[in-house]
Structures are given as structure tokens and as C-alpha cells.
């Protein structure tokens, strides 16, 4: 039987990136072997802060061309002491998301059995929401400058401009409504700070109101970001899809994953929905220098990102198998120290593989 081969570029990056990606690859290879219908051909790239130390670049100058023909990118994390964070982030991760027009960043907030949430409501309600992040413009458009009129040290001026286009707002808002239609609770909350930021965010609000009218079957509401951060804690049970600009969604998704129990649990998909470029799948967390190299980081965010990648590649059955295996693992109490457990990264990966069952 001919098997479909998915060509994946793996970029472990820095710190725990390599540890969590290794776990995720094991799980992905396992479900592929079990299905017998497809396989992964991995090409690993050693780009990141060590590469920067050798070459002065986070990735080679032709890196984007190298990545272009892969079916997807599986990414760890980037950032390490010694390289300024804005250099490492823009040099690798944002270089890829921006140039491959991965304008939709989907960040599920996953509450898992056996994981104690700091949120009491999580005991009473089945919580399940997704942050949809505008991933191409907004506050991370990279527009601005420093020392604009040669004022010099001690008198510097910096401007950081947020960019909002009607096109950019409309496509992410539409994406959020379409996504909500696929979920059990059909509801979209749009988040801005349009009372204080009267240009870009008012444009966003207006586009949201207009697009919402085309989705009468989906509930919609506009919420200010400060109120939404309180709502995540106080009334999370009526959230489903939360759509927000680049910075606001970045912050809200970290808050969401902390409420779910740990930053180490949260998966993420950077999608180019038109599929003109490969999409990129990565855990939400960073390189965690404080625990890197000790074999104790939580691989679940990376493993769950692998499930999002499978979904994108059209293998939703196997994606669901991985999700179920993660749930069985946490329910059985196989937890890394960030979740109050004593399991190692390898033990969690092994438990997920065991829950998937053997390859026949
Ligand atoms: P971080 O996410 O690396 O760590 C924050 C806290 O969460 C730390 O206490 C860490 O130990 C913990 N943590 C993170 N991932 C974990 C995991 N898998 N298992 C258990 N605990 C985990 O964020 P931080 O410390 O602000 O940044 C460290 C570096 O990572 C910086 O250089 C930063 O720029 C970079 N970074 C990169 C991101 C990316 O590549 N997407 C995202 C966020 C930060
Ligand atoms: Mg973040």
C-alpha cells in the first residue's frame, strides 16, 4: 500500500525546545506507524542561539527558501541568555511567521484531567476555550525606531507603532467565526482596548461588528482587554473562541495556559490558512533556561502541538488519538514538576506512547 510521506522541518531551537520536540517526534512517529497510512520524513535544522554564536545569524540567509517546500514546520523555542531576546525572536521565529504569512495563531487553552488548575471554576465546569491571535501585524508589526532625531544617550526617544489594516482585521475575525462554527459552543469574544487606543482598535471593533452580522448562528461580544483578563479568572465557563490582536492575545494565552495548570501544557499553531506557505506548530512556552538540560520539562505542549499539526495535515483521527493519550497520561498522575509531579520528560512521553498502544 502506498503511504503518504509528510516532509517536516524540525527546528528545536534553544533550551528545552530540543527536549520537548524529541518527545513530540516520538509520539508523531508512533501514531504514523500505527496508522500504516502515512509517515514522517524529518529534516532537523540546528538554527537558534548557538548557531547565532557561530554565524551571527539565527538562521541562514536562505533559510526561508530552505523551509518553503516542507509540508509543515515543527518548532521548539527560541531565546537564550547572551543573545538579546528581540534579536533571537525576530531572527528566527518572527522571521518565519511574518514571511510565511502565518497570520492566524490558534492557541487552545486545554484543561486536562488530573491537573490541578489554580482556577476553582475548573472543578465545577468543563472549561474549553481557544485564543485566536492575529499573528501578522498589530503591536508586533515591527514598525518604529529609536533615537529618532539624534538626541543621543540619556535623551533617547523610541516609537513603537501598531499597524492595523482592514484586511488584516477582517481575515482573522472571519477565521475566528469560522472556527467557532466547528466548536460545541458557537461564540466569539473579540478583545481590544478601543477606549484608549482610538485608531487601530476602533477599526478592529468596527470590522468585528460588520463580520459578526454574517454569522447570525454564532454569539458575539466585544470586551476590553483588562476586563477580559478578569473574565478569564472569574467567568471562564462562557468563553469559547477569543480573538485578539497580536500582543493582547499573546498575553491572554499565557494567562489561559497558567490557569489550565502550566505554561508547559499549551500548544499552538501558526497557520497560513491559504496554504501558500508551510504552517508552523510549536508549544506556547519559551526555552525555559531555568530548567533546561535537566530532563524535567513538560513535553505536553509540544506533543499537543504535534496533534494540531496532524489536524492541519488532514489526519484528524490520529490527532484525536494523541489528545486522548495525553488525557490518559495526566489522569493517571504522570506529571512533570511544573504540575506538582515527579515525572521526567521521558516518562511523560513514554506514558503517552503506552496509552496509544503498541504498533502492530
Ligand atoms: P519561558 O516560557 O521559557 O518560561 C517561563 C516559566 O515557565 C519558567 O519558569 C519555565 O521554567 C516554565 N516553563 C516553560 N516551559 C516549560 C515546560 N515545557 N515545562 C515546565 N516548565 C516550563 O519564558 P521566559 O522565561 O520568559 O523566556 C525564556 C526565553 O524564551 C527568553 O529568551 C524568551 O525570549 C524566549 N521565549 C521564546 C518563545 C518562543 O520561542 N515561542 C516564547 C516565549 C519566550
Ligand atoms: Mg508568549
* Residue 1 pLDDT level (bands cut at 50, 70, 90): low
The residue with greater pLDDT, 249 or 146, is: 249
Same domain, 319 and 289: yes
Q: How far is the CA of 263 from the centre of ligand 1 (A)?
A: 8
Q: Nearest 5°: CA angle at 157, between 153 and 158?
A: 120
Q: Which of 14, 71, 193, 311 is catalytic?
A: 193
- CA dist 29 and 258 (Å) reads 29
Per-residue pLDDT tens over the stretch 63-111: 999 999 999 999 999 999 999 999 999 999 999 999 999 999 999 998 9
Q: What is the mean pLDDT of residues 156-160?
A: 89
Same domain, 35 and 165: no
Contact 267, 301 (CB under 8 A): yes
Q: How far is the CA of 254 from the centre of ligand 2 (A)?
A: 6
Same domain, 273 and 238: no
Q: Which of 51, 74, 140, 215 is catalytic?
A: 140
Which residue ranges have their beta carbon within 6 Å of ligand 1? 16, 20, 77-79, 85, 89, 93, 263-264, 282, 285-291, 297-298, 301, 336, 338
Using the atom order of ligand 1, give the atom closest to the CA of residue 81.
32
Identify which of 8, 20, 15, 12 has the alpha carbon closest to the alpha carbon of residue 349: 20
Instruction: State the residue range of the domain holding 153.
Output: 120-260
Domain boundary among 213, 232, 260: 260
Domain boundary among 245, 260, 275: 260
Q: Which ligand is nearest to the CA of 83?
A: 1
pLDDT of residue 153: 75
Using the atom order of ligand 1, give the atom closest to the CA of residue 76.
40
Amino acid at each position: 500500500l502506498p503511504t503518504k510521506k509528510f516532509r517536516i522541518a524540525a527546528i528545536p531551537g534553544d533550551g528545552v525546545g530540543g527536549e520537548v520536540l524529541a518527545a513530540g517526534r516520538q509520539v508523531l512517529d508512533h501514531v504514523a506507524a500505527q496508522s500504516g497510512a502515512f509517515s514522517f520524513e524529518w529534516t532537523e535544522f540546528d538554527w537558534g542561539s548557538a548557531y547565532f554564536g557561530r554565524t551571527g545569524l539565527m538562521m541562514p540567509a536562505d533559510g526561508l527558501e530552505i523551509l518553503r517546500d516542507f509540508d509543515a514546520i515543527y518548532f521548539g523555542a527560541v531565546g537564550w541568555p547572551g543573545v538579546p531576546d528581540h534579536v533571537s525572536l525576530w531572527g528566527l521565529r518572527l522571521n518565519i511567521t511574518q514571511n510565511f504569512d502565518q497570520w492566524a495563531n490558534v492557541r487552545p487553552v486545554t484543561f486536562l484531567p488530573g491537573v490541578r488548575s489554580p482556577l476553582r471554576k475548573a472543578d465545577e465546569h468543563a472549561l474549553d476555550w481557544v485564543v485566536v491571535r492575529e499573528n501578522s501585524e498589530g503591536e508586533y508589526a515591527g514598525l518604529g525606531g529609536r533615537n529618532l532625531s539624534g538626541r543621543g544617550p540619556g535623551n533617547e526617544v523610541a516609537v513603537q507603532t501598531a499597524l492595523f489594516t482592514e484586511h488584516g482585521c477582517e481575515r482573522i475575525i472571519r477565521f475566528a467565526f469560522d472556527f467557532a462554527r466547528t466548536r460545541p459552543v458557537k461564540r466569539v469574544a473579540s478583545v481590544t482596548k478601543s477606549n484608549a487606543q482610538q485608531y487601530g482598535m476602533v477599526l478592529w471593533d468596527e470590522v468585528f461588528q460588520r463580520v459578526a452580522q454574517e454569522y447570525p448562528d454564532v454569539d458575539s461580544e466585544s470586551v476590553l482587554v483588562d476586563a477580559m483578563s478578569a473574565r478569564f479568572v472569574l467567568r471562564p465557563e462562557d468563553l469559547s473562541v477569543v480573538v485578539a490582536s497580536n500582543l493582547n492575545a499573546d498575553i491572554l494565552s499565557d494567562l489561559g495556559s497558567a490557569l489550565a495548570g502550566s505554561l508547559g501544557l499549551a500548544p499552538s499553531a501558526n497557520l497560513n490558512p491559504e496554504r501558500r506557505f508551510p504552517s508552523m506548530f510549536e508549544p506556547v512556552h519559551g526555552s525555559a533556561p531555568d530548567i533546561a538540560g535537566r530532563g524535567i520539562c513538560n513535553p505536553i505542549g509540544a506533543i499537543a502541538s504535534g496533534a494540531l499539526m496532524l489536524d492541519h495535515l488532514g489526519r484528524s483521527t490520529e490527532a484525536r488519538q494523541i489528545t486522548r493519550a495525553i488525557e490518559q497520561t495526566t489522569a493517571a498522575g504522570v506529571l512533570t514538576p511544573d504540575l506538582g509531579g515527579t515525572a521526567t520528560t521521558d516518562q511523560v512521553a513514554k506514558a503517552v506512547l503506552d496509552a496509544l498502544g503498541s504498533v502492530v
